[in-house]
Amino acid sequence: KNQVEQSPQSLIILEGKNCTLQCNYTVSPFSNLRWYKQDTGRGPVSLTIMTFSENTKSNGRYTATLDADTKQSSLHITASQLSDSASYICVVISGGSYIPTFGRGTSLIVHP
Protein backbone atom coordinates (compact mmCIF):
# COMPACT_ATOMS: atom_id res chain seq x y z
CA LYS A 1 0.00 0.00 0.00
CA ASN A 2 1.27 3.47 -0.90
CA GLN A 3 2.14 5.47 2.19
CA VAL A 4 3.66 8.84 3.04
CA GLU A 5 5.00 9.34 6.56
CA GLN A 6 5.95 12.75 7.89
CA SER A 7 7.97 13.71 10.94
CA PRO A 8 7.84 15.32 13.32
CA GLN A 9 4.08 15.50 13.83
CA SER A 10 4.47 18.95 15.35
CA LEU A 11 7.28 21.40 15.87
CA ILE A 12 7.69 24.64 17.81
CA ILE A 13 10.55 26.99 16.99
CA LEU A 14 11.53 30.58 17.70
CA GLU A 15 11.26 33.24 15.03
CA GLY A 16 14.45 33.51 13.00
CA LYS A 17 15.51 29.90 13.55
CA ASN A 18 15.82 27.26 10.83
CA CYS A 19 14.02 23.93 10.79
CA THR A 20 13.81 20.78 8.69
CA LEU A 21 10.76 18.62 8.12
CA GLN A 22 11.01 15.02 6.96
CA CYS A 23 8.98 12.89 4.55
CA ASN A 24 9.42 9.17 3.85
CA TYR A 25 7.34 7.42 1.22
CA THR A 26 6.68 3.98 -0.18
CA VAL A 27 4.75 5.07 -3.29
CA SER A 28 5.60 3.12 -6.38
CA PRO A 29 5.89 3.80 -9.23
CA PHE A 30 6.99 7.35 -8.52
CA SER A 31 6.07 10.39 -10.59
CA ASN A 32 6.79 13.42 -8.45
CA LEU A 33 6.84 14.72 -4.89
CA ARG A 34 5.25 17.94 -3.68
CA TRP A 35 5.34 20.04 -0.57
CA TYR A 36 2.32 22.14 0.35
CA LYS A 37 1.73 24.76 3.04
CA GLN A 38 -1.72 24.83 4.59
CA ASP A 39 -2.73 27.71 6.82
CA THR A 40 -5.48 27.05 9.35
CA GLY A 41 -8.89 27.17 7.69
CA ARG A 42 -7.49 27.44 4.17
CA GLY A 43 -6.68 25.17 1.26
CA PRO A 44 -3.13 23.91 0.68
CA VAL A 45 -0.76 26.05 -1.37
CA SER A 46 2.01 24.49 -3.43
CA LEU A 47 5.61 25.21 -2.37
CA THR A 48 7.67 22.86 -4.55
CA ILE A 49 7.28 20.04 -7.05
CA MET A 50 10.18 17.63 -7.71
CA THR A 51 10.46 14.87 -10.26
CA PHE A 52 12.70 11.81 -10.07
CA SER A 53 15.72 13.58 -11.54
CA GLU A 54 15.63 16.62 -9.25
CA ASN A 55 17.55 16.58 -5.97
CA THR A 56 16.85 20.09 -4.74
CA LYS A 57 14.31 22.80 -5.39
CA SER A 58 13.95 26.15 -3.69
CA ASN A 59 11.11 28.60 -3.29
CA GLY A 60 12.32 31.63 -1.37
CA ARG A 61 13.18 30.53 2.17
CA TYR A 62 11.87 27.03 1.48
CA THR A 63 14.25 24.37 0.12
CA ALA A 64 13.11 20.85 -0.62
CA THR A 65 15.41 17.90 -1.22
CA LEU A 66 14.65 14.52 -2.70
CA ASP A 67 16.55 11.25 -2.45
CA ALA A 68 14.69 8.89 -4.77
CA ASP A 69 16.95 5.98 -3.86
CA THR A 70 16.06 6.06 -0.17
CA LYS A 71 12.58 7.47 -0.87
CA GLN A 72 13.08 10.40 1.44
CA SER A 73 12.44 14.10 1.14
CA SER A 74 13.00 17.05 3.42
CA LEU A 75 11.75 20.62 3.56
CA HIS A 76 14.14 23.14 5.07
CA ILE A 77 12.82 26.50 6.22
CA THR A 78 15.41 29.23 6.68
CA ALA A 79 15.09 32.22 9.00
CA SER A 80 11.55 31.34 10.06
CA GLN A 81 8.85 33.99 10.30
CA LEU A 82 5.62 34.09 12.27
CA SER A 83 3.74 33.63 8.99
CA ASP A 84 5.43 30.26 8.53
CA SER A 85 3.13 28.87 11.25
CA ALA A 86 1.08 26.32 9.32
CA SER A 87 0.76 22.66 8.44
CA TYR A 88 3.29 21.39 5.87
CA ILE A 89 2.11 18.49 3.78
CA CYS A 90 4.19 16.09 1.71
CA VAL A 91 2.41 14.56 -1.29
CA VAL A 92 3.71 11.84 -3.60
CA ILE A 93 2.13 11.35 -7.02
CA SER A 94 2.04 7.81 -8.33
CA GLY A 95 3.27 7.27 -11.85
CA GLY A 96 0.70 5.96 -14.29
CA SER A 97 -2.44 6.50 -12.22
CA TYR A 98 -1.30 9.92 -10.96
CA ILE A 99 -3.28 9.31 -7.79
CA PRO A 100 -1.78 11.45 -4.99
CA THR A 101 -0.89 10.06 -1.58
CA PHE A 102 -0.87 12.71 1.13
CA GLY A 103 1.07 12.69 4.35
CA ARG A 104 -0.69 13.75 7.54
CA GLY A 105 1.39 16.90 7.71
CA THR A 106 3.74 18.53 10.19
CA SER A 107 2.24 21.31 12.26
CA LEU A 108 4.78 24.12 12.65
CA ILE A 109 4.39 26.88 15.20
CA VAL A 110 6.77 29.82 15.10
CA HIS A 111 6.93 31.83 18.33
CA PRO A 112 8.18 35.43 18.54
Partner 1 sequence: NAGVTQTPKFRVLKTGQSMTLLCAQDMNHEYMYWYRQDPGMGLRLIHYSVGEGTTAKGEVPDGYNVSRLKKQNFLLGLESAAPSQTSVYFCASSNRVSTDTQYFGPGTRLTVL
* Site residues (vs partner 1, CB under 8 A): 4, 31-32, 41-46, 49, 51, 89, 93, 98-105
Closest approach of Cβ 103 to partner 1, in Å? Answer: 5
**Residue with Cβ nearer partner 1 (15 or 22):** 22
The contacts found for 20-24 with CB under 8 angstroms, 24 or more apart, are 20/74, 20/75, 20/76, 20/77, 21/74, 21/75, 21/76, 21/77, 21/88, 21/90, 21/106, 21/108, 22/72, 22/73, 22/74, 23/72, 23/73, 23/74, 23/75, 23/90, 23/103, 24/71, 24/72, 24/73
Closest approach of Cβ 99 to partner 1, in Å? Answer: 6
Closest approach of Cβ 42 to partner 1, in Å? Answer: 6
**Residue with Cβ nearer partner 1 (63 or 106):** 106
**Residue with Cβ nearer partner 1 (49 or 68):** 49
